[in-house]
Amino acid sequence: MAGRSREVADEIRRRINILDVVSAHVTLKRSGRRYTGLCPFHSEKTPSFTVNPEQGFFYCFGCHAGGDVFDFVMRMGSLSFPDALGELAARAGVRLERTPDEERRGGERERLLRTVAEAEAFFRARLAADDGRAARRYLADRGVAAAAAEAFRLGYAPSGWDALLGALRARGFDAAALEQAGLAVVRTGGSGHYDALRQRLVFPIHDLQGRPIAFGGRALDDGTPKYLNTRETALFVKGRTLYALDAARAAIRETGEAVVVEGYMDALTCHQFGITNAVASLGTALTQDQVFLLKRFAARAVLVYDADASGMDAAERGLGIFEQAELPVRVAVLPGRADPDEFLHRQGVEPFRRSLAGAQSVFDYRFAMASARHDGKTVEGKVGIVDEMSQLIIIAPNPVRQAEYVRLLAERLGVREDAVRGQVRRLSKDRDDAVRPATAGGRGEVAGHRTAPEADGRAGAETLLLHLLVADAAVRAGVRGAVDARVFRDPAHQALAQALLDPETDAVEPVRLRERLRDEGAVALLSRFLIEEPPVRGDARRVAEGCLRTMRIVDLTERIGRLTAAHAEAVRGRDDHRRDELAVELLEARKEKERIRELKVSV
């Protein structure tokens, strides 16, 4: 287990009961062999959080968080595994020893953290000093309150080439340390270094534990770019970081909702005006990693990007990532093409809250944008709108959402649903035989391409089969060899199945299975299946074989559909050779489907 000391982890589990750890944060009530309470990771009124002390796992049926005692501590404290291991080891009285390599890596990281922390202290001191007057005047002109500047630890980088370098050298930090922390740049030709940020208002970027890991700088003169981040380092990856999440996560958990804005000032002003669940995407396009990070704390999100053309484009791009991550999102469009910072200072917080409350759904926003570009009263305009909206439909992982989008689109344009589905299928043809790519968090097929209700039955069969594989070693032994993990379509299902179908898994304890998983969704599924009894009675192996039979029939049905379409295209194109090849494949697929249908159970 990478980065994990198994012996120490096992000793911690022997000494610490997960109930004791969870009870410090959640009021639990016994329910049979399990304990339930209100989830600490999202806002809820009815308890959906469950702990199974016998297995040592927790699972929330509301937000789907799950895992073992280490996962719980990591989530509660936003800690890395080594930090959680250290915290639990100290609590259990277990001596934590590190390998020389771990000591080296830990030492390097601590040195980087110390370097960045010293830089933050330097920048804050310079903001309060005489040479920080221009930065203080800028903050006053922008309406930034002193309390907000202090809360976000704003600073100032002087105009000199080596002011930070000189100050930190005096404290024992050499230029190489500053370069590794992204704070210094090597001069052309390699003769010395200079400060990465100069004559800029400085916004420290913190990790989830509130430690500074990088900086953003706003130019106070005509310098370009206007905003500049220190470079990515071992501490800081821009696409995996959200500005102000450390300050916002408590409010996000309490409300269940995150407000996502573009830049530093937008986020800071939101917090100053009491919108304390606001985070920023560091002025760049949202990434999948950022949305999945947000999903750890939020049940839903509102996107409030600038109302100019670039902001609207960024909002449209970001919506697709939220769809793939299955994190519900709405879009708030501020009146007057204002950005959140400007709007709050001019209009106040109540109009801003009303805009948040009236935010549009993903579908409504994308439809409005497409309708602004195409005339929905003309045939060509309708085609253009359908083509744009099809991209949203294709990437939506949930088939119910896909079907609803098709219905809404057809209704608003006054066209038939089957026409919309046909265009969606045509536009998605290049996406792996009309199956949407298996991106992070994604699953499912294009609306209309699946054969309902069989396709819905396949999803249920896949979930039930996986549940049986977790719950019953005899099922694992019986299925292994007849199937591999690739028959599972959901990426999280596939990751869990890969671990379950390993020949060494039969007698493995759940904690060992957990150690093999890297996918967060797979960990949550394992936790759920360990806590929840399989919804079957009788011979579990026969039920599992029936699940495989259903999955195979649906796979063949979809293959037959693709072959039929390709055969018709070959006929239209008078490609006799291709037509005859496809006819043979079609016949074989149909025979195989009928053979499996006639069997009572089959693997």
- C-alpha span between 380 and 360 (Å, rounded): 26
- Residues 380, 433, single domain; the answer is yes
User: pLDDT (tens digit, 9 = 90+) per residue, 548-599?
Assistant: 888 888 888 888 888 988 888 888 888 889 999 999 999 998 888 888 877 6
Per-residue confidence (pLDDT) for residue 224, from 0 to 100: 81
Supply the CATH number for residue 170's domain: 3.90.980.10
- Residues 480, 577, single domain; the answer is yes
**Is 356 within the bounds of a domain?**
no
Mean pLDDT of all residues belonging to the chain: 84
Q: How confident is the model at residue 445 (pLDDT cuts 50, 70, 90)?
A: very low
- Residues 435, 533, single domain; the answer is no
User: pLDDT (tens digit, 9 = 90+) per residue, 215-241?
Assistant: 999 999 877 889 999 999 988 989 889
**Is 339 within the bounds of a domain?**
yes
- C-alpha span between 431 and 437 (Å, rounded): 6
Query: DSSP H helical segments within 222-361, as ranges?
Result: 245-255, 264-272, 288-295, 309-325, 340-347, 349-357
**Is 499 within the bounds of a domain?**
yes
Q: How confident is the model at residue 269 (pLDDT cuts 50, 70, 90)?
A: very high
- Residues 432, 551, single domain; the answer is no
Last residue of a domain, one of 318, 351, 384: 351
User: pLDDT (tens digit, 9 = 90+) per residue, 14-35?
Assistant: 899 999 999 888 889 998 889 9
The better pLDDT of the pair 428, 415 is held by 415
pLDDT mean over 343-360: 95
Supply the CATH number for residue 341's domain: 3.40.1360.10
- Residues 259, 225, single domain; the answer is no
**Is 366 within the bounds of a domain?**
no
- Residues 501, 532, single domain; the answer is yes
Supply the CATH number for residue 47's domain: 3.90.580.10
**Is 300 within the bounds of a domain?**
yes
User: To which H or E segment does residue 257 belong?
Assistant: strand 257-261
**Is 115 within the bounds of a domain?**
yes
- C-alpha span between 227 and 266 (Å, rounded): 13
- Residues 137, 117, single domain; the answer is yes
**Is 1 within the bounds of a domain?**
no
Token pair belonging to 231: 């470079």
Range of the domain at 579: 454-598
Collect contacts of 487-490 with beta carbons under 8 A, ≥24 apart: 487/548, 487/551, 487/555, 488/462, 489/438, 489/443, 489/444, 489/458, 489/459, 489/462, 490/443, 490/462, 490/521
- Residues 193, 315, single domain; the answer is no
- Residues 302, 403, single domain; the answer is no
Last residue of a domain, one of 60, 92, 124: 92
- Residues 84, 133, single domain; the answer is no
- Residues 187, 321, single domain; the answer is no
- Residues 395, 326, single domain; the answer is no
- C-alpha span between 429 and 444 (Å, rounded): 15
End-to-end CA distance of the chain, in Å? 33
User: pLDDT (tens digit, 9 = 90+) per residue, 461-505?
Assistant: 888 988 998 888 888 888 777 788 888 888 888 889 888 887 765
**Is 99 within the bounds of a domain?**
no
Per-residue confidence (pLDDT) for residue 442, from 0 to 100: 34
The domain tally of the chain equals 5
Last residue of a domain, one of 420, 445, 470: 445
Q: How confident is the model at residue 378 (pLDDT cuts 50, 70, 90)?
A: very high
